């Protein structure tokens, strides 16, 4: 599972020649398509599907006293194919309904279902995991992204804010190496603000023209700016900022952000 996309170098914003206007309009149309068809999963979402399987494996397995249960747990965590992960998770849940590692099993199943595009099932597993281990931002964040994709705006925003609170309140999980935690934390924070910015933009676009629409679009820009501060290399943030600016009538700012997104060559914002 890919956690981080390769870093890219962004060009500085500059005034655009008129010849690039058709390109800008195409990028804007692409952004609208992504918003109008939320069933499509994007690069930002896949980035949020973060697992610490390798780090957790033996730490958690040591707590399992039943040999067969421990072996089933390890086998599940070693699988890479999401379909196999789901099958093994279902088998584990049926065989060991009182296991002390149910939260981890539900989490694996949830993230596997996200990879398979089974978003409703992914949310069901995520909620079951979070009932047992509610302060788990590495699961709350991908759940928030899925909720945003499914148009569950209020739920997505609540999940994103809960994850932000946990990331700010709690120290580094012991299973995550010290050197890796800052970058992982920044990625999770960026994803939280991305969800907020995305859903606020959708709310703004769906609002009648007026003060409420303007306020939501400005809130979207604020959230996306925070996301960009944590992950400045993400092209999706740039094109959503561009769409927010475009909706506010600030064409120059919109063009600059659309150009950054276009020139990044990021496949996640290419037409599907």
pTM listed for this prediction: 0.77
- For the ranges 134-138, 172-176, 215-219, which has the lowest average pLDDT? 172-176
pLDDT beyond 70 at 139: yes
pLDDT in tens, 7-45: 444 444 445 455 555 444 444 444 444 444 344 345 554
* Angle at the Cα of 70 from the Cα atoms of 74 and 166, rounded to 5 degrees: 70
More confident residue, 158 or 174: 158
pLDDT in tens, 38-75: 443 455 544 444 444 444 555 667 778 899 999 999 99
* Angle at the Cα of 66 from the Cα atoms of 62 and 72, rounded to 5 degrees: 80
Q: Which two tokens stand for residue 62?
A: 């040591």
Give the three-state DSSP class for 250.
coil
């Amino acid at each position: 599972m890919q956690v981080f996309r390769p870093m890219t170098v962004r060009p500085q914003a500059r005034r655009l020649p008129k010849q690039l206007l058709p390109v800008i309009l195409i990028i804007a149309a692409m952004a609208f398509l992504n918003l109008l068809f939320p069933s499509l999963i994007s690069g930002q979402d896949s980035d949020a599907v973060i697992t610490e399987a390798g780090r957790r494996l033996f730490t958690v397995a040591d707590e399992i006293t039943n040999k067969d249960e421990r072996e089933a747990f390890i086998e599940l965590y070693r699988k890479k194919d999401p379909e196999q992960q789901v099958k093994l998770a279902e088998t584990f849940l049926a065989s060991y309904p009182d296991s002390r590692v149910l939260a981890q099993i539900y989490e694996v199943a949830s993230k596997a279902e996200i990879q398979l595009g089974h978003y409703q099932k992914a949310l069901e597993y995520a909620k079951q995991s979070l009932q047992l281990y509610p302060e788990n931002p590495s699961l709350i964040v991908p759940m928030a992204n899925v909720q945003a994709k499914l148009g569950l705006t209020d739920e997505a925003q609540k999940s994103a804010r809960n994850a932000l609170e946990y990331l700010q309140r709690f120290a580094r999980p012991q299973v995550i190496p010290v050197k890796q935690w800052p970058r992982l934390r920044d990625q999770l924070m960026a994803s939280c603000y991305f969800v907020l910015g995305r859903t606020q933009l959708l709310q703004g676009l769906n609002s009648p023209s007026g003060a409420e629409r303007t306020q939501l679009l400005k809130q979207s820009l604020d959230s996306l700016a925070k996301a960009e501060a944590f992950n400045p290399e993400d092209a999706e943030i740039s094109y959503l900022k561009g769409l927010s600016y475009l909706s506010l009538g600030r064409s120059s700012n919109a063009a600059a952000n659309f150009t950054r997104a276009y020139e990044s060559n990021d496949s996640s914002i290419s037409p599907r």
